[in-house]
Structures are given as C-alpha cells and as structure tokens.
Amino acid sequence: MEIMTICQDRVLELRLQGELDHHGARGLLARMEREIEAALPVELVLDFGGVTFMDSAGIAVALRGWQRMRELGGRIELHHVAAQPRKVLETAGIGRMMTIQ
Amino acid sequence: MQRIKNYVTLEFLSCSSNESFARTAAASFAAQLDPTLDELGDIKTSVSEAVTNAIVHAYPDRLGKISVKLKLLENSVLEITVRDWGNGIEDIQQARQPLFTTGGEERSGMGFTIMESFMDKMNVRSTPGRGTTVTLRKRISARIKR
C-alpha cells in the first residue's frame, strides 16, 4: 500500500493507495503514528480514494487514528470511502465514531 | 448433504501476499453465479478475513499450509472452507466476540464478526495444536435476466 502525505494548516492528510488488508497494512500503522507525531495536527484526514479493497485491517487503522487524535484533542475524518470499504467500517460501528464521506 | 455442482481446491503457504490471491480466486469462482458487486465484496472480504486469521494466528512464528475449498451447491449456494493445520483456538466462543483478539495492536478483532455479517452462515471448528476449519455459506440471489 502506498501512502502520500500532505500537511497544510495543521491538517494532516494521508492518501492511501492500493489494497488495505493485513499484507498491505504492514508498516501503515507505524507510518501513521510517525506522521501524526511529526505534524501534531488538529485534524487527520484519511483519504480512501485510492483504496481498491479493504478488510478489518482498515478498521484497526481507523481506530488507531481516532485514538491518537483524541489524545491530541483533534478530529479525524475519512474521505472518498467507496462502497466495499464503507460496509466494512459500518459493520464495526466506525461511522458512529467519525465522519465518513 | 447438498449436491456439489462444482468445486475448486486451493492450497498455499501462509504468506500474507497470498491474502489477495485467495480472495481474488474466490471471486473468480463465484463469478459463475452472476453475483452483484456487493455480493462479490462480501465474498472477497470474508475470504480475506478467514485466510488472514490462519496466517496471523495458526502460524504466528512459522509458515504452514492453508487450504481454501470453494464449492457450488444447489440453489446458488456458495460454500467456502478455509482450513489450517496450525495452533488452533482455545476458546472459540471468546474468539468470536467482536473486538476480541489475541493478535496484538495491529489487529481489530473484527474478523469473525465481519464473516458472520457478510455471509449467511459461519461454522468454526478447532482443536488446539491440530488446526482450525472455518466454513462459510452464502446464497447468491438470482438476478432477472434482461
């Protein structure tokens, strides 16, 4: 999985590209933690526009991002979430915790 | 016992790079039932969860064999059986609880919950030290042919 980082005005955006499964997520959690630590953003945006498939590995990523942003007193949003990843996230109740666009 | 109209059996090593292969293969096999995109998504996600469970939990510190059996039964029912010969599950009921995981920080503990949600039926059999078998069934809805 490829990750592109854009940081502007204390908004950290991570654009994910590829398949977000156990294999693809290797290193993603650590990378996300490092980026949050470096930017200390007020808002984290995970952009799923390039995510072609997602299983419960993506739930772990969303939950970790939510945890870290809560610690920072900030917010998290998920953008461009297609039908298949959205169904997985909704099954875990993630839609009740954060905005999924 | 339902009549088996078609079947495919896959055997592969518990490498995480095979997660994508397994779900794509399942989707390819299911194509003959003319599933909707949503149904294909359900099938791919469920296979991904079951295979990942075997990779992460059955063989945490080594590589082992995983088998995926895909069967087409009567009435457009797809049956998927994911089997491993690894560590096994001590307490299946506990393992099936949402958010429960023995897999550390990177796992969400939602695998079984997703399989149960996305498929019509899920059955889990396991013997610690011998292995685990997860059987999933989903009826693919008949579509009106134009």
CA dihedral A32, A33, A36, A38 (to 10 degrees): -110
Task: Tell me the two tokens of residue A17.
Answer: 């590209």
CA angle B6, B8, B13 (to 5 degrees): 165
The predicted pLDDT at position B108 comes to 86
| pLDDT reading at A6 higher than 90 | yes
* CATH of residue A46: 3.30.750.24
B59-116 pLDDT, tens per residue? 999 999 999 999 999 999 999 999 999 999 999 999 999 888 888 878 888 999 999 9
Q: Write down the catalytic residue from B49, B79, B83, B87.
A: B49
Residue of B nearest to A25 (CA): B106
Tell me the C-alpha distance between B2 and B75, whole Å: 10
Look up residue A93 and give its DSSP letter: T
Task: Tell me the two tokens of residue B122.
Answer: 């899920």
The predicted pLDDT at position B107 comes to 84
Helices and strands counted in chain A (H then E): 3, 5
Can B130 be counted among the known catalytic residues? Answer: no
Out of A19, A25, A56, closest to residue B111 by CB: A56
Tell me the C-alpha distance between B48 and B38, whole Å: 15
Q: To the nearest whole percent, how much of chain B has pLDDT over 70?
A: 97
Look up residue B76 and give its DSSP letter: G
- Mean pLDDT computed over B123-131: 97
Tell me the C-alpha distance between B26 and B52, whole Å: 14
CB A24 within 8 A of CB A18: yes
Q: Write down the catalytic residue from B96, B107, B137, B139.
A: B107
The predicted pLDDT at position B144 comes to 67
Burial A64-92 (b: 16+ CB within 10 A, else e): bbbebbeebebbbbbebbeebbbbbbebb
Contacts of B16 in chain A (CB under 8 A): 21-23, 26
**Contact state of A55 with B49 under an 8 Å Cβ cutoff:** yes
| pLDDT reading at B146 higher than 60 | no
The predicted pLDDT at position B2 comes to 77
Q: Is A59 on the interface with B (CB under 8 A)?
A: yes
Tell me the C-alpha distance between B143 and B146, whole Å: 9
The domain limits of chain B are 6-139
The predicted pLDDT at position B104 comes to 80
Tell me the C-alpha distance between B85 and B81, whole Å: 13
Contacts of B45 in chain A (CB under 8 A): 53, 55, 84, 87-88
B102-114 pLDDT, tens per residue? 888 788 889 999 9
Out of B16, B20, B45, closest to residue A88 by CB: B45
Task: Tell me the two tokens of residue B91.
Answer: 């307490």
Can B53 be counted among the known catalytic residues? Answer: yes
Q: Is A21 on the interface with B (CB under 8 A)?
A: yes
**Contact state of A59 with B108 under an 8 Å Cβ cutoff:** yes
Rounded to the nearest 5°, which phi and psi values hold at A73?
75, 25
Can B143 be counted among the known catalytic residues? Answer: no
User: What separation in angstroms does the CA of B45 have from each of A30, A65, B143?
Assistant: 24, 22, 22
Q: Write the CATH number of the domain with boundaries B6-139.
A: 3.30.565.10
Boundaries of domain holding A86: 2-100
The pTM assigned to this predicted structure is: 0.95
CA angle A71, B94, B115 (to 5 degrees): 85
DSSP strands (E only) in B37-105: 65-73, 77-84
Tell me the C-alpha distance between A58 and B93, whole Å: 24
Q: Write down the catalytic residue from B19, B53, B79, B87.
A: B53
